[in-house]
Amino acid sequence: MRSTDRQSPSEETKMDTETKPDVTIVVPVRNRIGMLNDLLDSLIAQQFPPGQMELIVVDGDSAEPVQETVLAAASRAPFAIRYLKVEEDRGPVSKRNLGVANAKGAIIAFTDSDCRATPGWLQALTAPMADPAVGFVSGPVTYKPEQPKTFFSKLTAETLIEHPTYPTANVAYRRDLFLQMGGFDERLGVRDFLGRATECGDTDLAWRIRKAGWKNVFAPKALILHEVEDLSPLQWMLEPTRLILLPLLIRLHPEIAPRLLRWNIIFYPGTLRVYGALILSLVLVLIDPWLFLSAVVVGMSLLAVLKARSPDPRRIFAALRDIGLHFSRMVVLAATLIAGSLRYRRLVL
């Protein structure tokens, strides 16, 4: 394992040392105890033999009372729950690696603290492991149905079919295989200036296992529900910066490109409009700056009227605002992909 973190023996909250579970669920966490409580309740309600499962929650530098929350869940759970804490919070990957290093189950199931497991999730996710040729299993992720979606909602988690990134919100590995492959590569991660961790170690491990000849299975009934998180306008605008590692991932595993990119280079076709608009803007500025300003005003006004489908000035203004925000976010996406392409020497647009 690449992780050097260790847990304190005093932080073990509940474990029957005479029973070896078949499955260990590993959840990394940092704050968000409201979401964590929702997850813990859903895991306690799993339709799975309690004696065959355990849960390890791995905390970092949380300011909220995560340990107390886990202790409370452990007191009412019919299976073992342990709380671990990393010495240095380097992001979710190191926490997952530490959890696996301390797991007793032969199968490791991963999900996240902003998720809710449906009652049959663990049973459906681990059942394909009966085939000894299967190295890992993934499942679908959708949103918590009772939560409304707003303009600034983070809506990037849904994967209703097998996705080539194999996110750790819903995936299970054989523990021996996980350790044999070196776990999640903690070098494949960065933090942005907002302190958010961006990592691709989950995708990297899945593809290393696939290329080693192991089978993988998508379990459609192993459903995870994800939080609909409302972001601040700045967080929403900068959300595409999480794709900075995409060119690195494509360089490490070219097999992903046909499943994520068009023409082996375009990640999101909407960015083509950004590139086209920027080129046209540059040409107009060179010809006549006033011509450029006129084109921007006329073009944005026409788009706003078409989007509003109403002569109401308030609806037109709202449409104009939305167009401006979406275009700005696309500029951030395009700039992120270009920066990642230059840094990791693999062109993705």
Residue 73, C-beta contacts closer than 8 angstroms, at least 6 positions apart? 37, 40, 41, 44, 81
What was the pLDDT predicted at 4?
32
**DSSP secondary-structure letter at 95?**
H
69 dihedral zone (left: phi>0; alpha: psi -120 to 50; beta)? alpha
CB 95 within 8 A of CB 161: no
Q: How many other C-beta atoms are found inside a 10 Å radius of the C-beta of residue 142? A: 14
Residue tagged 């959840």 (tokens): 27
Torsion sign across C-alpha atoms 21, 27, 31, 32: negative
DSSP codes joined into one string, 61-86: S-SS-HHHHHHHHHHH-SSEEEEEE-
| Residue 193: per-residue pLDDT | 66
CA distances from 318 to 163, 270, 329 (A): 34, 21, 17
CA distance 233 to 291: 31
Q: Which of 290, 329, 138 is nearest to 216 (CA)?
A: 138
Q: Quick one: pLDDT at residue 20?
A: 56
Quick one: pLDDT at residue 12?
40
pLDDT at 200: 92
Residue 177 pLDDT:
98
User: Residue for token digits 């020497």?
Assistant: 345
Question: Which residue ranges form the domains of the chain, and what is each CATH number?
Answer: 9-230 (3.90.550.10), 231-349 (no CATH)
Residues of the chain under the 50 pLDDT cut: 1-19
3-state secondary structure of 172: strand
- CB-based burial label for 289 (10 Å; 0-12, 13-18, 19+): exposed
Side-chain half-sphere CA neighbours of 189 within 13 A: 19
β-pair partners for 215: 134
- State the DSSP H helix or E strand holding residue 174, giving kind and residue range, or none if neither: strand 171-174
- Residue 252, token pair as written in the block: 């490490």
| Contact of 225 with 115, CB cutoff 8 Å | yes
Looking at residue 97, its pLDDT comes to 96
